Amino acid sequence: MPELPEVESARTVVAQYALDRVITDVDDTDTWVCRPHAPGSIRAALLGSRLITANRRGKSMWCETAAGPTLGIHLGMSGKLVFIDESGDEHDGGDYWQRGRAPGDHRFTRFALKFADGTELMLVDPRRLGRVRLDPPVEKLGPDALTVTLKAFRAAFAKGTAPVKARLLDQEAVAGVGNLLADQALWLAKLDPARPVLDLSPADVARLHRAVRAAVAAAVEGGGVHTLSVIPARHEGGTCPRCRTLMHHATVGGRTTWWCPREQR
């Protein structure tokens, strides 16, 4: 499932390849992925226009267009963006697929833009839980987890009885932390996922802030959340990569959570 790093890799594909090309065709016929727009309405809004920026906050991505409306692209559970360049080479970014994607495999294309120079940008999404829409709401999202300041982070963790893991997953508190990033950050910060937010000391919050940014940066650098160091220990019999204690697991914040019971307090 894409978390912030996977969405960032999709955003990079758009930023590197798809900007400033004139849009000559739009496939917006998938009424589920393009809801609530009727087929043809995204097409009508974008024909002759260009994508001019590629933005991301948390797991949400949107492009400003020369014509006015922004184009929102959400990768859902399994989405990748694929750009086909002038020589037919493909550049993709987005969700990590264990078996990869063969070039030319466009079976799961849910939305596509064709450009005047013959290049193309498509959303390929086997599970069809991605979404494309005009002017998506992004104002409710919290600060982006890759760049959130300590001050803004403290404000998001200032009060409440929610478990710290649940607060990390709350996209209006901090945007972009999914289940695996949350487990990695809590493990780095040596915090028990079930600790209530109001129980955290200022030093705990500062450590967690550093851990979130470090976890996100490592995953962006490494190519996705599957590369994070605690992920291989998230299974029955898995041991903490630092102290070799048997990892515990339970449902915290509605999600399966793994932690080191010796170090995470």
239: tokens are: 């041991």
> CA 130, 126, 10: angle at the middle one, nearest 5?
55
Q: Please, which residue, 71 or 164, has the CB nearer to Zn ion?
A: 164
Q: Please, which residue, 127 or 244, has the CB nearer to Zn ion?
A: 244
Looking at 37, 106, 207, 242, which residue binds Zn ion (CB under 5 A)?
A: 242
Q: Is 130 left (phi over 0), alpha (psi -120 to 50) or beta?
A: beta
Interface with Zn ion, residue 243, by CB under 5 A: yes
Nearest distance from C-beta of residue 215 to Zn ion, angstroms = 16
Per DSSP, 16 falls in state: I
Nearest distance from C-beta of residue 264 to Zn ion, angstroms = 7
Distance from CA of residue 133 to its chain's centroid? 17
Nearest distance from C-beta of residue 164 to Zn ion, angstroms = 17
**Among 14-22, 29-37, 83-91, 244-252, the segment contacting Zn ion (CB under 5 A):** 244-252
How many residues make contact with Zn ion (CB under 5 A)?
Answer: 6
Interface with Zn ion, residue 186, by CB under 5 A: no
Nearest distance from C-beta of residue 7 to Zn ion, angstroms = 30
Nearest distance from C-beta of residue 263 to Zn ion, angstroms = 4
Per DSSP, 38 falls in state: P
Looking at 64, 85, 170, 263, which residue binds Zn ion (CB under 5 A)?
A: 263
Give the Å distances, CA to CA, from 113 to 125, 200, 251: 15, 47, 41
Looking at 23, 191, 200, 260, which residue binds Zn ion (CB under 5 A)?
A: 260
**Among 12-20, 73-81, 101-109, 233-241, the segment contacting Zn ion (CB under 5 A):** 233-241
Q: How far apart are CA 216 and CA 219, in angstroms?
A: 5
Give the Å distances, CA to CA, from 222 to 5, 72, 100, 170: 9, 26, 16, 24
Looking at 219, 240, 247, 252, which residue binds Zn ion (CB under 5 A)?
A: 240
Q: Please, which residue, 62 or 258, has the CB nearer to Zn ion?
A: 258
**Among 17-25, 26-34, 149-157, 242-250, the segment contacting Zn ion (CB under 5 A):** 242-250
Q: Please, which residue, 35 or 235, has the CB nearer to Zn ion?
A: 235
CB 84 within 8 Å of CB 92: no
Please provide the DSSP assignment of 206-247 as one string. HHHHHHHHHHHHHHHHHTSGGGSTTGGG-STT-B-TTT-PBP
- Contact set with Zn ion (CB under 5 A): 240, 242-243, 245, 260, 263
